[in-house]
């Protein structure tokens, strides 16, 4: 008889017990849901499907008259299943108590909030975190966000945003994981795990929400809330897999979106929400609409009026309606008139109740309302430490001619130029509703720890600095005051650190741009400084890829620092002075010009990839085809050499790929080894390159390491037009390298 080693046996037995325990717990919850559902009136069921925004001071007297009073009455009747934008243990406790003690069945509320990159202590914006390619760090960052958010009474975050986007004109790229489906899927899993932890019923874990289902990031021309029209291959192979990854990681909710997709508003799309998400992928959690997206079925020209919108939303599978109130007003009559089956309502309510049971809210509705914990956890020193690590990992070194970086600690005279250098607000980025203004360590503050010997000139005013989440940022493009002073300072300095970029609220929701240049007079300032002193390090702060083409051609060193959150200045200073060796890699392509957009590495070959000098090939007459900086790109203070790419395809179910990476420079450094494939011939054309694996490694100077990857059918297959996952035999090319452009190549045959 075959003997299993003892440790495998013990592991299998404990896994069996663990699974049996989970099953028992699920059965118990199912029974509790059945019991509760039986006791609920139709009005109470529909009430669970209603989510209100809380905009009054809940700890004050009960609201009288107006919208707030109506909401208050609905809460007391048990006609509200969840709130959003109510935070603080005191406020949450007050509303929870109202519902638990005064409504007939006392079903506790969910409290949702946009905890996108931290609550008080802010990590870098999600796009920046994606540049770390460090899944452990990203998971930890979400964990910290959950610890702080749960300490203020919240039990549900509307994150992660897993929308793939190839269009940096769209302001919400700052909120996602970039342009790539594989990287995005890994990030989705890490972030869901971080928010939800090992045990959702623990008081410091919260339910996550993958959004916006689906294809919101493909808004035409990058214009917010705009039309999306994409084919099935792009939908199945590019857009949906990040959501599937989140569902596989047991995400407790999914949010739909504002966009139409191929003519149908996604909020009213039963194919997406019922067939794909709930049936095919077996999502156990709930689907929440986006803010008023059910009401928006009317202006979309999809529903006649609010009653019709409620009917269509419920039928399509929007289990909970955020804010627009059409469910609570019309779903009961829709059911009574036979327009919506009560079984659909029951299914929605089950999903909502399940999340509440899993969070443990029925055992203790106030478990997130511990004011001592609230005090202890917000801005906890450990959190500040962790977001500093995350911020350093997110920085990407884009250019470093003649190794101008890192700066020596006794560097001569340093000039710092640019309004953003002295900004404690903008580097916090967008989507930071719970945080406090002006809590970032500014660039200047960070620099002070390394050098006292610098002078600062802000240059011309760039933004109305106090712009907030609800306002458009105003940009100064005419007033040149401050220019002369900055140029004079540059002239007398040895090195110029120019901190330029976007305002924190120039990206995020409803922040689409048609120009992706440095806003205002910043490029003029840079050019003027360059004329008197070209020894410049450009530190870019931004929420999206920018067309920094002149900058890349003329400035010797460029650090991409995004918006790095609370620890911005400290993180940048450590990198500038070489106490941290940058290892970030771009999660999105940087275009040379806006006209190239959408530009992304995993494009198709076309029938005319290059026929030069013949003019009839796929190209522009006035611009190159290549990007300014490709996907996956990022330098280090050391160099890495790739060699010996070998493929062993003898086991066709697990193809082995090896490559040797050597740190050939003089300092230790981290490298993200990237593996791409190309399926050379397929029944549905495949892209010229697709990321299918990566490993982040640390190598001491002079050391080499053999890196091994395994390719299985999961990496080699694709979805055909019937949404069937197929793996087709034939030749595959494997490419491994330091970014998506500079790669070694080898082929193998899949039989």
Query: 85 or 371: whose CB is closer to ligand BGC?
Result: 85
3-state secondary structure of 324: coil
- The CB-nearest residue to ligand BGC is 158
User: Do residues 38 and 105 touch, judged by C-beta distance below 8 A?
Assistant: no
User: Do residues 523 and 517 touch, judged by C-beta distance below 8 A?
Assistant: yes
Query: 79 or 291: whose CB is closer to ligand BGC?
Result: 291
Query: Which bin fits 198, alpha (ψ -120 to 50), beta or left (φ > 0)?
Result: alpha
Query: 211 or 465: whose CB is closer to ligand BGC?
Result: 211
Q: Does 296 interact with ligand BGC (rule: CB under 6 A)?
A: no
Q: Per the structure block, which two tokens stand in for 13? A: 């037995």
Q: Does 694 interact with ligand BGC (rule: CB under 6 A)?
A: no
Torsion, CA 418, CA 421, CA 425, CA 430, rounded to 10: 70
Query: 83 or 541: whose CB is closer to ligand BGC?
Result: 83
Q: x/- contact string, 571-610, with ligand BGC (CB under 6 A)? A: ----------------------------------------
User: Do residues 313 and 288 touch, judged by C-beta distance below 8 A?
Assistant: no
Q: Taking each helix axis from N to C terminus, what angle separates 240-248 and 181-196, rounded to the nearest 10 degrees? A: 30
Q: Per the structure block, which two tokens stand in for 312? A: 């269509």
Residues paired with 629 in a beta bridge: 590
Q: Does 290 interact with ligand BGC (rule: CB under 6 A)?
A: yes
Q: How far is the CB of 121 from ligand BGC (least distance, A)?
A: 20
Residues paired with 52 in a beta bridge: 83
> What letter does residue 124 receive in the DSSP assignment?
P
Query: 167 or 509: whose CB is closer to ligand BGC?
Result: 509
* Burial profile 490-526: b = 16 or more Cβ within 10 angstroms, e = fewer: beebebbbbbbbbbbbbbbbebbbeebbbbbbbeebb
Q: How far is the CB of 626 from ligand BGC (least distance, A)?
A: 33
Quick one: 18 exposed, middle or buried, by C-beta within 10 A (0-12, 13-18, 19+)? exposed
Q: x/- contact string, 245-284, with ligand BGC (CB under 6 A)? A: ----------------------------------------
Among 91, 167, 269, 509, contact with ligand BGC (rule: CB under 6 A)? 509
Query: 211 or 377: whose CB is closer to ligand BGC?
Result: 211
Q: Does 148 interact with ligand BGC (rule: CB under 6 A)?
A: no
3-state secondary structure of 86: coil
Query: 469 or 550: whose CB is closer to ligand BGC?
Result: 469
CA distance 350 to 244: 21
Q: Does 143 interact with ligand BGC (rule: CB under 6 A)?
A: no
* 290 in catalytic set: yes
C-alpha separations of 637 from 74, 301, 359, 397, 554 in Å: 60, 55, 46, 9, 20
Give residue for tokens 């956890």: 377
Q: Does 114 interact with ligand BGC (rule: CB under 6 A)?
A: yes
Query: 205 or 293: whose CB is closer to ligand BGC?
Result: 293
Q: Which of 167, 290, 423, 679 is catalytic?
A: 290
Query: 226 or 639: whose CB is closer to ligand BGC?
Result: 226
C-alpha separations of 93 from 108, 119, 434 in Å: 11, 19, 18
Quick one: 602 exposed, middle or buried, by C-beta within 10 A (0-12, 13-18, 19+)? buried
Query: 287 or 539: whose CB is closer to ligand BGC?
Result: 287
Among 79, 156, 158, 218, contact with ligand BGC (rule: CB under 6 A)? 158
Q: Per the structure block, which two tokens stand in for 93? A: 């406790």
Q: Per the structure block, which two tokens stand in for 716? A: 């080699």
**CB neighbours of residue 4 within 10 Å:** 10
CA distance 78 to 43: 9
Q: Which residues contact 35 (CB under 8 A, 6 or more apart)?
A: none
Q: Does 211 interact with ligand BGC (rule: CB under 6 A)?
A: yes
Query: 82 or 335: whose CB is closer to ligand BGC?
Result: 82
3-state secondary structure of 84: strand
Query: 114 or 690: whose CB is closer to ligand BGC?
Result: 114
User: Do residues 187 and 177 touch, judged by C-beta distance below 8 A?
Assistant: yes
**How many binding residues for ligand BGC (CB under 6 A)?**
6
End-to-end CA distance of the chain: 34
3-state secondary structure of 282: coil
C-alpha separations of 454 from 486, 491, 494 in Å: 13, 13, 10
Among 291, 600, 637, 694, contact with ligand BGC (rule: CB under 6 A)? 291
Q: How far is the CB of 116 from ligand BGC (least distance, A)?
A: 8
Quick one: 480 exposed, middle or buried, by C-beta within 10 A (0-12, 13-18, 19+)? middle
Q: How far is the CB of 430 from ligand BGC (least distance, A)?
A: 12
CA distance 24 to 698: 43
C-alpha separations of 126 from 82, 148, 361, 556, 611 in Å: 26, 17, 29, 28, 40
Closest CA to 691 of 602, 611, 558: 602
Torsion, CA 41, CA 44, CA 45, CA 48, rounded to 10: -170
Query: 137 or 254: whose CB is closer to ligand BGC?
Result: 254
3-state secondary structure of 147: helix
Q: How far is the CB of 494 from ligand BGC (least distance, A)?
A: 46
> What letter does residue 474 receive in the DSSP assignment?
P
Closest CA to 750 of 645, 679, 657: 679
Torsion, CA 65, CA 71, CA 74, CA 78, rounded to 10: -150
For ligand BGC, the binding residues (CB under 6 A) are 114, 158, 211, 290-291, 509
Residues with catalytic function: 290
């Amino acid at each position: 008889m075959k003997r299993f080693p003892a440790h495998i046996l013990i592991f299998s037995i404990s896994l069996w017990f663990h699974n049996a325990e989970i099953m028992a717990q699920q059965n118990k919850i199912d029974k509790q849901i059945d019991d509760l559902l039986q006791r609920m009136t139709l009005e109470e069921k529909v009430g669970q499907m209603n989510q209100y925004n809380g905009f009054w001071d809940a700890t004050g007297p009960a609201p009288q008259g107006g919208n707030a009073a109506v909401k208050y009455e609905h809460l007391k009747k048990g006609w509200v299943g969840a709130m959003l934008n109510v935070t603080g243990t005191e406020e949450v406790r007050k509303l929870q108590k109202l519902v638990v003690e005064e409504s007939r069945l006392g079903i506790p509320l969910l409290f949702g909030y946009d905890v996108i990159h931290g609550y008080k202590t802010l990590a870098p914006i999600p796009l920046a975190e994606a540049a770390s390619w460090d899944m452990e760090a990203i998971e930890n960052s979400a964990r910290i966000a959950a610890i702080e958010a749960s300490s203020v009474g919240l039990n549900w975050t509307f994150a992660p945003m897993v929308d793939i986007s190839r269009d940096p004109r769209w302001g919400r790229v700052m909120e996602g994981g970039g342009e790539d489906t594989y990287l995005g899927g890994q990030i989705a899993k890490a972030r869901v795990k971080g928010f939800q932890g090992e045990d959702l019923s623990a008081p410091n874990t919260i339910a996550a929400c993958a959004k916006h289902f689906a294809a919101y990031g493909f808004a035409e021309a990058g214009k917010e809330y705009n039309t999306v029209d994409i084919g099935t291959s792009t939908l199945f192979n590019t857009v949906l897999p990040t959501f599937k990854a989140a569902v596989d990681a047991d995400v407790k909710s999914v949010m739909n979106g504002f966009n139409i997709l191929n003519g149908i508003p996604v909020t009213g799309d039963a194919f997406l929400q019922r067939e794909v998400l709930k049936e095919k992928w077996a999502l156990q959690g709930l689907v929440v609409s986006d803010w008023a997206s059910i009401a928006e079925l009317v202006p979309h020209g999809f529903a006649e009026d609010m009653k019709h919108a409620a009917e269509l939303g419920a039928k399509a599978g929007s289990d909970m309606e955020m804010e627009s109130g059409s469910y609570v007003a019309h779903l009961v009559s829709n059911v009574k008139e036979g327009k919506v089956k009560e079984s659909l309502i029951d299914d929605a309510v089950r999903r909502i109740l399940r999340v509440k049971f899993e969070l443990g809210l029925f055992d203790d509705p106030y478990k997130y309302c511990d004011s001592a914990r609230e005090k202890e956890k917000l801005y906890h020193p450990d959190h500040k430490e962790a977001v500093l690590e995350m911020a350093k990992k997110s920085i990407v070194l884009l250019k470093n001619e003649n190794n101008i970086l890192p700066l020596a600690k006794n560097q001569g005279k340093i000039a710092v130029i640019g309004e953003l250098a002295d900004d404690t607000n903008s580097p916090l980025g967008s989507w930071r509703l719970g945080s406090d203004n002006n809590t970032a360590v500014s660039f200047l503050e960070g620099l002070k720890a390394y050098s006292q010997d610098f002078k600062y000139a802000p240059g011309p005013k760039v933004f109305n600095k106090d712009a907030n989440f609800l306002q458009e940022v105003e940009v100064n493009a005419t007033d040149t005051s401050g220019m002369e002073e900055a140029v004079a300072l540059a002239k007398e300095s040895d090195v110029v650190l120019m901190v330029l970029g976007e305002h924190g609220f120039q990206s995020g929701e409803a922040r689409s741009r048609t120009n992706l240049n440095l806003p205002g007079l910043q490029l003029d300032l840079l050019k003027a400084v360059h004329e008197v002193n070209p020894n410049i390090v450009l530190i870019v702060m931004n929420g999206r890829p920018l067309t920094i083409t002149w900058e890349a051609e003329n400035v010797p060193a460029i650090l991409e620092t995004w918006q790095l959150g609370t620890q911005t200045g400290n993180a940048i200073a450590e990198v500038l002075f070489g106490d941290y060796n940058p290892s970030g890699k771009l999660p999105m392509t940087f275009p040379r010009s806006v006209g190239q957009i959408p530009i992304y590495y995993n494009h198709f070959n076309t029938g005319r990839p290059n026929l030069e000098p013949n003019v009839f090939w796929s190209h522009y007459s006035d611009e190159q085809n290549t990007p300014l900086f490709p996907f996956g790109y990022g330098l280090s203070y050391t160099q890495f050499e790739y060699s010996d790419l070998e493929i062993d395809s003898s086991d066709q179910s697990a193809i082995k790929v090896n490559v040797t990476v050597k740190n050939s420079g003089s300092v230790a450094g981290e490298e993200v080894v990237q593996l791409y494939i190309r399926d050379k011939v397929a029944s549905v054309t495949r892209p010229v390159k697709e990321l299918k694996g990566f490993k982040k490694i640390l190598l001491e100077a002079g050391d080499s390491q053999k890196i091994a990857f395994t390719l299985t059918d999961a990496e080699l297959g694709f979805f055909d037009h019937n949404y069937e996952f197929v793996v087709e035999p034939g030749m595959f090319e494997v490419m491994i390298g330091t970014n998506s452009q500079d790669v070694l190549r080898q082929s193998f045959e899949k039989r």
